Chain A
Amino acid sequence: GAVVSQHPSRVICKSGTSVKIECRSLDFQATTMFWYRQFPKQSLMLMATSNEGSKATYEQGVEKDKFLINHASLTLSTLTVTSAHPEDSSFYICSARPTGEGHGYTFGSGTRLTVV
């Protein structure tokens, strides 16, 4: 089945620093990937849609200059949280979907970000 690999699984950083999260589709090509954020006991909220070779599409209320997304190849998308603050602490998850009928969206294992 489709596999999406996400790294790191857990990161602790200091306020004001930047953190990069990688998301790779291992056995399929993904022209589009999705980045979600999930706060404790809440559902997944879509942050942005990452498009290979073009700019990401951000959801309303998500700061594009703070959450930098790069989709440099058909198998890799990165999310960089710039100038992180404690309120950015959350569970970040990427997702992609193989093309073709019947395929669901596969999620990476998630990244637990803690900003101290």
Chain B
Amino acid sequence: QKEVEQNSGPLSVPEGAIASLNCTYSDRVSQSFFWYRQYSGKSPELIMSIYSNGDKEDGRFTAQLNKASQYVSLLIRDSQPSDSATYLCAVNPRGGGNKLTFGTGTQLKVEL
């Protein structure tokens, strides 16, 4: 079992719709969770971080964490073509120092 799992996609949504990206992780005692956006040929940029169960909203983005289910998700409201990118889920397990473990990423395509 991979430490951090994501559906590779592509996930296609129409412009203006809600995009839902999902991630599961295997280390039950993981502490910190991050969503990064990566455009082709570029380095990742931080979208959201979440540390406790529940929802965290920032503009059009909402991160959701459920530690009991070992599940973290990212919702993008009013999706725009500029949101088309690969979204990486990253987990910082307890005892892992400051190391991040990344999922393989989900490619999102927002279509006009």
Interfacial chain A residues near B49, Cβ < 8 Å: 102, 104
Q: Tell me the A102-116 residues at the B interface (CB within 8 Å).
A: 102, 104-110, 112
Whether A93 sits at the interface, judged by CB under 8 Å, is: yes
Q: Binding site of B, secondary structure by majority: helix, strand, loop or mixed?
A: loop
Which residues of A approach B to under 8 Å, CB–CB? 6, 32, 34, 42-44, 46, 49, 93, 95, 97, 102, 104-110, 112
Known: A102-B49, A107-B45, A110-B43. A44 touches B102 (CB 8 A): yes
Decide yes or no whether B99 CB sits under 8 A from chain A.
yes
A47 to chain B minimum Cβ distance, whole angstroms, is 11
Cβ of B100 and Cβ of A109 under 8 Å apart? no
Decide: A49 and B42 in contact? CB cutoff 8 A: no
B26 close to chain A: CB less than 8 A: no
- Give chain B residues whose Cβ lies under 8 Å from the Cβ of A34: 98-100
